[in-house]
Amino acid sequence: MGKPTGFLDYDRKNNEGTKPLERIKNYNEFHTPLLPEERKRQAARCMDCGVPFCQNGQPLMGMVSGCPLNNLIPEWNDLVFTGEYEAAAHRLFVTNNFPEFTSRVCPALCEAACTCGLNGLPVSVKENEHFIIENAFETGMMKPKAPSVRTGKRVAVVGSGPAGLACADQLNKRGHSVTVYEKDDRAGGLLMYGIPNMKLEKQIVDRRIKLMVAEGVEFLTGVNVGENVDANELLDSYDAVILCCGAGNPRDINAPGRDASGIYFAVDYLKATTKSLLDSNLKDGNYISAQDKNVVIIGGGDTGNDCVGTAIRQGCKSVVQLEMMPKLPDQRAENNPWPEWPRVCKTDYGQEEAIAVFGCDPRRYQTTVKEFVKDENGALKGVVTVKLKSVYDEEAGRNVMQQVEGSEEYIEAELVLIAAGFLGPAQYIPEAFKAETNERSNVATEQGKYSTSVDKVFTAGDMHRGQSLVVWAIREGRDCAAEVDEYLMGYTCLK
């Protein structure tokens, strides 16, 4: 390493974020990058630790520790420190097709496993990655590189989320002709409509799509395979078909009063807001508005937090976020040592904004909705919540959450957003291809494989592994592409 004592010489310094009360005035990304000289110092904190757990990406106690893409983090940190930014980008691209996405939306499993974090603050890996890729675009390094030779093989990728894009990018680089089918009006899948602008501005997605088009990938949008395009048509026209349609079947809350108007799935709420923002800067009114409404969000994860941030930007009257599970500790517990993923409480951007606007954390732990209350016209006017407690279920062999009698509470609400996760992919797609599904309703494959029960049909991403992270979708897309390439050519040089 160029600076062996960097982790001792320099403190961690993060990209500065716009204050909550200011950033809620728009839907833009809100972090200002450090100057290059300071970024070099942050890269110098990478400590040549000998065993870089940051790039390990292996499960520890049921959770992955380190980067699932096995990014060569110490190598490109050193290259940033020495100012060799183009070389750093080349090392980053060895493992990651889309660092502009992961450096914005990944929860940074790498940093949780950083050796520096054992006795202090970890290296700012995610922000260093962001610097590398944005510098590559700004300096003109990111030029189209179409393959010089085509194999004559044709591949259809159904779905243009991170897994589909990774598959398409890898296979196109190999020389196969790739067509991506997307049911929405814009390519990007989850990246376009599932993640709000505040975390990932859509010109960043468009920038990558345009680059892939220039390199030879074809995108067909507004095309719903399994509905207005017959699956057999793809099977007849292509040498391989890859299903990367995500986990689009949201988990519902089946409480009395569920038929009230004013209750929506979070994915529909976020998609409508982003689409209206892109189409008309919200002037067309074609979105679900939280303005002047009391909002209750069911679900304490990232999607629930995105709903909090979006509702605040729309001018909600109040916001409450319900979380079934207990609050995690603020610091690592003794039974959760490094380099395991830290099971600690995280206050994300939406919750920070709620605290700034309303003066309190919106989250209510160990709480769920017992009843949706309607007015005489069938419109939602409130919810009855109930507290939960953890009880060991001998038959199930695990703890389950049980309602606490007498803990009911009424909360006014004209808008409820259900962000309770997903139950797998929309089933019409595997049914159209006659692909078998497993007990979790995901498309079934052998362990560690991506080929389905149907010849020349493969699958990757959330449709294959269940609801997960963007970084895992890219990993799956890359690995699936290698398997497809071997199927087509008899061998593969993809990694």
| Alpha carbons 469 and 466: distance in angstroms, whole number | 10
End-to-end CA distance of the chain: 26
Last residue of a domain, one of 374, 400, 418: 418
| DSSP character at residue 118 | G
For residues 270 and 402, membership in a common domain is answered with: yes
Q: Domain of 99?
A: 6-138
Question: Does a structural domain hold residue 358?
Answer: yes
| Alpha carbons 471 and 98: distance in angstroms, whole number | 9
pLDDT recorded at residue 432? 97
Question: Does a structural domain hold residue 406?
Answer: yes
For residue 257, the Cα-to-chain-centroid distance in whole angstroms is 31
Amino acid identity for residue 47 in this structure: M
Which H helix or E strand runs over 121?
A: none
Question: Does a structural domain hold residue 257?
Answer: no
* Helices 73-81 and 36-44, axial angle in degrees (round to 10): 140
| Alpha carbons 495 and 480: distance in angstroms, whole number | 10
Question: Does a structural domain hold residue 253?
Answer: no
Q: What is the CATH number of the domain that holds 84?
A: 1.10.1060.10
| DSSP character at residue 404 | P
Question: Does a structural domain hold residue 495?
Answer: no
| DSSP character at residue 119 | S
| DSSP character at residue 192 | I
pLDDT recorded at residue 109? 96
Amino acid identity for residue 259 in this structure: D
Q: Using an 8 Å Cβ cutoff, are 382 and 413 in contact?
A: yes
Q: Using an 8 Å Cβ cutoff, are 456 and 449 in contact?
A: no
Please list the residues that pair with 158 across neighbouring strands: 181, 243
Q: Name which of 195, 421, 419 is nearest 322 in CA terms.
A: 419
For residues 393 and 281, membership in a common domain is answered with: yes
Buried-state track 140-169, b at ≥16 Cβ within 10 A, e below 16 = eebeeeeeeeebebbbbbbbbbbbbbbbbb
For residues 268 and 410, membership in a common domain is answered with: yes
Q: Which two tokens stand for residue 468?
A: 């997960």
Burial of 222 (0-12, 13-18, 19+ CB in 10 A): exposed
pLDDT recorded at residue 443? 97
* Helices 302-313 and 349-358, axial angle in degrees (round to 10): 40
For residues 318 and 393, membership in a common domain is answered with: yes
| Alpha carbons 484 and 464: distance in angstroms, whole number | 15
Which position has the token pair 């009391």? 294
pLDDT recorded at residue 1? 67
Q: Which two tokens stand for residue 215?
A: 């390199």
Q: What is the CATH number of the domain that holds 322?
A: 3.50.50.60
For residues 399 and 479, membership in a common domain is answered with: no
Helices within 139-224 (DSSP H only):
162-174, 202-214
pTM of the model: 0.96
Integer CA distances (angstroms), 463 to 12, 162, 239, 441, 486, in order: 38, 12, 21, 9, 22
Q: Name which of 125, 118, 112, 122 is nearest 342 in CA terms.
A: 112
Q: Using an 8 Å Cβ cutoff, are 203 and 27 in contact?
A: no
Which position has the token pair 């026209």? 237
Last residue of a domain, one of 418, 445, 461: 418
| Alpha carbons 202 and 144: distance in angstroms, whole number | 20
pLDDT in tens, the chain (495 residues): 678 899 999 999 999 999 999 999 999 999 999 999 999 999 999 987 889 999 999 999 888 999 999 999 999 999 999 999 999 999 999 999 999 999 999 999 999 999 999 989 999 999 999 999 999 999 999 999 999 999 999 999 999 999 999 999 999 999 999 999 999 999 999 999 999 999 999 999 999 999 999 999 999 999 999 999 999 999 999 999 999 999 989 999 999 999 999 999 999 999 999 999 999 999 999 999 999 999 999 999 999 999 999 999 999 999 999 999 999 999 999 999 999 999 999 999 999 999 999 999 999 999 999 999 999 999 999 999 999 999 988 887 888 899 999 999 999 999 999 999 999 999 999 999 999 999 999 999 999 999 999 999 999 999 999 999 999 999 999 999 999 999 999 999 998
| Alpha carbons 15 and 258: distance in angstroms, whole number | 43
Question: Does a structural domain hold residue 91?
Answer: yes
For residues 28 and 117, membership in a common domain is answered with: yes
Q: Which residues contact 495 (CB under 8 A, 6 or more apart)?
A: 94, 478, 482
For residues 86 and 132, membership in a common domain is answered with: yes
For residues 190 and 49, membership in a common domain is answered with: no
For residues 307 and 396, membership in a common domain is answered with: yes
pLDDT recorded at residue 396? 79
pLDDT recorded at residue 156? 98
Last residue of a domain, one of 386, 418, 450: 418
Q: Which two tokens stand for residue 327?
A: 């609050």
For residues 201 and 305, membership in a common domain is answered with: no
Q: Using an 8 Å Cβ cutoff, are 368 and 388 in contact?
A: yes
Burial of 397 (0-12, 13-18, 19+ CB in 10 A): exposed
| Alpha carbons 321 and 305: distance in angstroms, whole number | 8
Question: Does a structural domain hold residue 148?
Answer: no
Question: Does a structural domain hold residue 315?
Answer: yes
Domains held by the chain: number: 3
| DSSP character at residue 378 | S
Q: Name which of 200, 202, 100 is nearest 142 in CA terms.
A: 100
For residues 197 and 240, membership in a common domain is answered with: yes
Q: Using an 8 Å Cβ cutoff, are 277 and 313 in contact?
A: no
